[in-house]
Amino acid sequence: MIDLHSHTNESDGTYTPRELVEAAASIGIEALGITDHDTFAGYELAVPIARERGLDLVCGIELSTRAVFGHGQKTVHMLAFFLGEGGPSSDFRAWVAELLASRRDRNIRLIRSLNEHGVDISLGEVEAMGRSLTGRPHFARVLMKKGYVRSIDEAFRRYLAESAPSYVERDSPEIGEAILEVAKGGGISVLAHPVRLGFRKPEEEERFIAGLKDLGLRGIEVWHSDHSAADTARYFDISRRLGLLRSGGTDFHGANKPGLELGTGRNGNVHVAREVLDQLRAGAAMVR
Ligand code: AMP
Ligand code: ZN
Ligand code: FE
Ligand code: FE
Helix H segments across the chain?
17-26, 41-53, 90-116, 123-127, 136-145, 152-155, 175-184, 202-214, 229-242, 274-286
DSSP label at residue 27: T
- What is the chain's length? 288
- Mean pLDDT, all residues of the chain: 96
Side chain identity at residue 83, one-letter code = L
Cβ of 137 below 6 Å from ligand 1: yes
**pLDDT value of position 12:** 95
Cβ of 162 below 6 Å from ligand 1: no
CA distance linking residue 224 with residue 132, whole number of Å: 25
Question: With bands split at pLDDT 50, 70 and 90, how would you rate the model's confidence at 288?
Answer: low
Beta-sheet pairing, 31-34 with 56-68: parallel
**What is the per-residue pLDDT across 53-77, written as a single tens digit (0 to 9) for each?**
999 999 999 999 999 998 889 999 9
Q: Return the percentage of the chain with pLDDT > 70, whole number.
A: 100
Global model pTM greater than 0.85 = yes
Which sign does the torsion angle of CA 249, 251, 253, 255 carry?
Answer: negative
**What is the per-residue pLDDT across 158-197, written as a single tens digit (0 to 9) for each?**
999 999 999 999 999 999 999 999 999 999 999 999 999 9
Instruction: Provide the terminal-to-terminal Cα distance of the chain, rounded to the nearest Å.
Output: 29
Give the distance (Å) from ligand 1 centre to CA of residue 284.
29
C-beta of residue 107 within 8 angstroms of C-beta of residue 123: yes
Mutate to test the pocket of ligand 1, among 75, 76, 126, 136 (most ligand atoms within 8 A of CB): 136
Residue nearest to atom 2 of ligand 1 (CA): 135
Question: With bands split at pLDDT 50, 70 and 90, how would you rate the model's confidence at 117?
Answer: very high
CA distance linking residue 255 with residue 215, whole number of Å: 36
CA distance linking residue 26 with residue 29, whole number of Å: 8
